[in-house]
Chain A
Amino acid sequence: MKLGASKPLSTIRALELSEIWAGPFCGCLMGDMGAEIIKVESIQRIGRGPINPPSNAGGYPDDDPGNDPWNRQSNFNAINRNKKSLTLDLKTEQGLNAFKDLVSQSDIVFCNYARTVMENFGLSYDEVRKIKPDIIYMLMPGYGNTGPYADYRSMGMAIDAITGHSFLRGYPDMDHSSNSLVHHPDAVAATNGVMAIASALVHRTKTGEGQFIDMSQAESFMTHLGEIYLENQMQSFSRQRRGNRHPDFAPQGVYKCSGEDNWIAISIKSEADWSKFKATVANNHLNSDVFDTLSGRQQNHDQIDKIINEWTYSQDRYDVLNRLQSDEITSGVVLDCGADSYADPHLNERDFFQIVEHPSAGIYPMTGPIFKFESSNGHVIHNPAPCLGQDNMYVLKEVLGYGNDKITQFEANEIIGTVPLPGSDMGGSRRVAK
């Protein structure tokens, strides 16, 4: 154990068996905090987007999948920073034994596949703890590891639906079938996964004990909706969809500015805000007594929105933002995940983007780690996502001490490799042609 290491998890090695969002982001956050994350993959089954043929919407550098599209996929490379990649065929005895050898050198195993995947490899918690009694082991299926839904398939969409969040989102004046397909909850299991593992590490330091972490992605997200469940018990009516409005504030909304698809969000949170805002907009229609109370503004919200839109429509969004913020009026511009965020002065000043040189994808500014620590002067490390099997030699030779003969045999038997085998493509699960 490296005492005095500068990052919170520098002393830790974790084995990640994960794909899509929840598990990979959990590993990403731990990697950001210094843990050695070994992503255990295989050349038999590849979870790095469609490769045969590569999708023409895969977000490859300059739309070129290259000869190794599995190393160039944008989603994968974005969410797997600060990790190592090991390939192992866990369906073979040699591969399984190597994994078990690695367990004995590791602190954490975590997996976001269906609950029974690890068990079917012979790698249940009970098996793994025989090798490493103080291992911390986390499974994170959608609905948790027990109960009638323990083996139900799920993903972010399912969690959003079953927790009630889907019911409350969307435009209040439209049917739910207009709801968007972006689903936030996967990532909540990731932040809670780090919280769980860190707590278990503290416990291990004090007691020497490892433990099993039962992460339900649904329950994890439900703690973010706690007040909504309470409202339904405390009042005689239940919450309906609100769009961009909140019952404590008015006016509140997202208003069109000059340019294509440019918007500003504004919240008037007090009577003092309202006075300042009226003076700024300088439209006599807003001076009506009817608007002098919160309830008056709420009852006439659509009318006020129309006046605000007339005011914002021809203005630059940043000009409106700076003017409102100079009066301490709550406001924000709507930034997209493309040009807008890369151009945003605040994100740039805080070094939110890091120039990353990826051996196959090339040099690009990628989204950086989200935690800043005084002990490292706010500096964060962003190593590129690993190429498939990039760290096979490091793990087998340096961590496990395997000899060259054994490693040659592993290669010959396709236990390890750096190129996916024919038939390993899981198809266009992530993206399909435009």
Chain B
Amino acid sequence: MPFGALEEIIVLDLSDRLAASFCAKTLGLYGCEVIKVESLEGDPLRQWTSPTQNGQVDDSPIFLHLNAGKKSISMDLHSKKGQSLLADLMKVSDVVIESQKPGHWEEKGLSYNQIKNINPSIIFTSVTPYGQTGPYKNFAYDELTLFAMTGAMNREGLPDREPLRYAGEIAQYFAGNAAAAATASTLFKRTLTGEGDWLDISIQECMAGHPHQIGRRAPYIYAGEPDPRSQPRTSASGAREPYAVGTFRCKDGYFSFLPLGPRMWPNIAKMINREDLMTHPKYDDTIKRSENKDELEAIFQAWLNDKTREEIFKAVQAAGVPGSPILQPEEVHKNEQFIARDFFQDVTHPNGQTLRMTGDPFRLSNTANSQIEPAPTLGQNTTQVLQNLLQMSYDEIETLTTEKII
């Protein structure tokens, strides 16, 4: 078994929010040893939308996903002794990932500028909603309110209704992923120079700097183009082939299409067995097709009505029309492509349940694919971590336990 690319890197995960936690998880998939430092009460996400309602705190789906493969050490971070223990851990770690309000660690003597005195090559990655500076730095947030501030929400939904968020915790995941990329890049520099750094990652800026947002901001600043929500058969970049753009009902669900421009018209006409329409005087150029889009949409919809998503997927690939079936979430892990690639991994959790969990976001040919391990129970690895990283004796650990520091 080859090693992970980031083997032998120790990551202290101090996160208590999604984005930073996902940053640490992603690094863990590629070989970092991720030690999740929790308070004695545990990560608040342990109790988030717990579906089984059985009183257990470790069965929240989002906690299980974000923390798969991490080790957990729990300690009293309010006490001086706990803080001193954390400083000892920071001293022997390579990366610290945290999500607290700006200034939080400074009060405890554990900020980057304080820790770099005892560990000059530490990489300190702060993933916070609005970054370390600026008037919003202490704002309370969740996915909904943060997503609103990124520019993405303003275009999601219909012009005459309230704007919408995306379905998942998208902005936070995206920022966590970006933070992992920046952290790994800084790790690379460190292999050459030994230098650490402090990364100030703002979730708002990551999502506001997403290509779709910068791709809308540029035409505004170049030419004053507004940025409205649009009707579903159009898009912000104009109606393409409007009768065939967007989401359509079919026999067993929904199918998405995004034909890019007039050059797609012959492909579409052939696909729906209506090559006769290509020379029809009502449809033979893109302006006429836009004017007569309702008629064409009815023809297109009629072709879809008696076809399954699978049949349409084959047809679009044969015809060269960009399109994809909309899967329901429970269908995704049964999809032939993801099965063929062994993307999901079966992971048995401490409660005995085996769950299919998402695997590696990308694969490296010369290093190991990850073997997903279940998320840890609270403090599951406290003793092991203190012994291995700090060479603490059994008696020392026993004393900390008695004092309720760990």
Contact = CB atoms under 8 A, between A and B. Distances in A.
Contact of B366 (A169, A211, A222, A254): A211
Nearest to B341: A147
B246 A179 contact: yes
24 contacts: A21-B212, A58-B219, A59-B223, A60-B223, A62-B222, A74-B223, A78-B215, A147-B341, A157-B324, A171-B161, A188-B174, A191-B181, A219-B343, A222-B361, A248-B48, A248-B49, A331-B140, A332-B148, A336-B228, A337-B217, A338-B220, A369-B209, A374-B112, A374-B197
Interface stretch (A92-100, A158-166, A278-286, A410-418): A158-166
Contacts of B213: 337, 341, 367
A41 B159 CA distance: 38
Contacts of B287: 433
A180 B227 contact: no
A235 interface: yes
A152 B320 CA distance: 9
B40 interface: no
Interface in B331-361: 331-333, 335-338, 340-341, 343-344, 353, 355-361
A59 B217 CA distance: 10
A61 B222 contact: yes
A217 B367 CA distance: 20
Interface in B217-267: 217-223, 225-230, 232, 234-240, 245-249, 254-258, 260-263
Nearest to A215: B362
A163 B49 CA distance: 21
Given A158-B323, A180-B232, A33 B185 contact: yes
Q: What bracket does the count of chain B residues touching chain A fall in?
A: 35 or more
Given A180-B229, A224-B168, A235-B52, A213 B223 contact: no
A205 B192 contact: yes
A219 to B, nearest CB: 5
Consensus secondary structure, chain B interface:
mixed
A91 interface: no
B202 interface: yes
A365 B221 CA distance: 7
Interface string B182-208: 101111110111010111111011101
Interface string A191-232: 111111011111101110111111110111011111111111
- Most chain B CB inside 10 Å of its own CB: which residue of A57, A338, A429: A338
A226 B326 contact: no
B156 interface: yes
Contacts, number: 551
Contact of A229 (B147, B258, B333, B341): B333
Contacts of A364: 221-222
Nearest to B156: A180
Interface stretch (A265-273, A295-303, A391-399): A265-273
Contacts of A269: 140, 142
A386 interface: no
B134 A432 contact: no
A246 B168 contact: no
Pick the 3 closest A-B CB pairs, nearest first.
A59-B219, A332-B145, A158-B324
Given A148-B340, A177-B249, A192-B181, A169 B164 contact: yes
A103 B230 CA distance: 44
Contacts of B187: 198, 202
B184 A223 contact: no
Contacts of A365: 221
Interface stretch (B58-66, B77-85, B276-284, B380-388): B58-66
Q: What bracket does the count of chain A residues touching chain B fall in?
A: 35 or more
A346 B204 CA distance: 10
A165 B232 contact: no
A188 B358 CA distance: 15
B133 to A, nearest CB: 6
B286 A432 contact: yes
A202 B161 CA distance: 48
Contacts of B151: 335-337, 340-341
- Most chain A CB inside 10 Å of its own CB: which residue of B148, B163, B325: B148
Nearest to B364: A211
A144 B209 CA distance: 25
B14 to A, nearest CB: 17
Given A8-B189, A194-B185, A248-B49, A332 B222 contact: no
Contacts of B55: none
Interface stretch (A82-90, A347-355, A401-409): A347-355
A113 interface: no
Interface string B23-51: 00010001100000000000000001101
A212 to B, nearest CB: 4
A184 interface: yes
Contacts of B205: 347, 350, 352, 370
Contacts of A212: 364-365
Nearest to A210: B366
A161 B335 CA distance: 12
B339 to A, nearest CB: 8
Contacts of A374: 112, 197-200
Nearest to A431: B237
Nearest to B132: A372
A370 B325 contact: no
Given A184-B174, A369-B209, A371-B199, A246 B142 contact: yes
